[in-house]
Structure 1
Amino acid sequence: MKSVLKDALPVQAGSRLQGKVAVVTGIGSGIGRACALLFAAQGASVVGCDIDAKAAGETLEIARAQGLAIDSLHPCDLTQPASARQLVEFARTRHGGFDVLVNAAAFGAFAWLQEMDYETQWRRTLTGELDIVFLLCQAAWPVLIERGGGSVINFASANAAVALEGSPALAHCAGKGGVLAMTRQLAMEGGPHGIRVNSISPALVETSATRAHMRADPAFLERALGKQMIKRVGQPEDIAWCALFLASDEAGWVTASDFPVDGGATAW
Structure 2
Amino acid sequence: MADRLAGKVAIVTGAANGIGRGCAEMFAAEGATVIGIDREDADVVCDLLEEEEVRVHFAWLGREYGRVDILVNAAAFAHFAWIGAMNYAQWRETLAGELDIVFLATRAAWPYLKASGAASVINFASANAAHALPGSPALAHCAGKGGVLAMTRQLAMEGAPHGIRANTISPGFIRTAATERHLASDPALEVQVRAKNMLDRLGEPADIAWCATWLASDEARYVTGADIAVDAGATAW
Residue 146 of structure 1: how far off its partner (Å): 2.0
> Residue 219 of structure 1 corresponds to which residue in structure 2?
188
What is the aligned length? 237
Letter in 2 for 1:150: A
**Cα deviations across residues 169-204 of structure 1 (Å, max 9, x unaligned)?**
000000000000001011011111110000000010
Q: 1:254 aligns with which of 216, 223, 226?
A: 223
Gaps (5+ residues) in structure 2? none
Q: 2:160 aligns with which of 167, 178, 191?
A: 191
Residue 80 of structure 1: how far off its partner (Å): 1.4
Instruction: Note the 1:107-122 alignment, pairs <5 A.
Output: 107-119=77-89, 121-122=90-91
Instruction: Note the 1:49-198 alignment, pairs <5 A.
Output: 49-51=37-39, 53=40, 55-56=41-42, 72-74=43-45, 76-119=46-89, 121-198=90-167
> Residue 32 of structure 2 corresponds to which residue in structure 1?
44
The 4+ residue runs of structure 1 with deviation greater than 4 A are: none
Contact 1:159 1:172 (8 Å CA) reproduced: yes
Residue 149 of structure 1: how far off its partner (Å): 3.3
Percent sequence identity over aligned pairs: 60
Instruction: Note the 1:197-208 alignment, pairs <5 A.
Output: 197-208=166-177
Confirm whether residue 29 of structure 1 aligns to residue 42 of structure 2: no
Give the CA RMSD over aligned residues: 1.1
Cα distance in 2 between the residues matched to 1:32 and 1:213? 19
Instruction: Find the residue that maps to 2:78 and give its secondary structure.
Output: coil
Contact 1:23 1:91 (8 Å CA) reproduced: no
Letter in 1 for 2:50: Q
Instruction: Find the residue that maps to 2:76 and give its secondary structure.
Output: coil
Letter in 1 for 2:166: V
Letter in 2 for 1:208: A
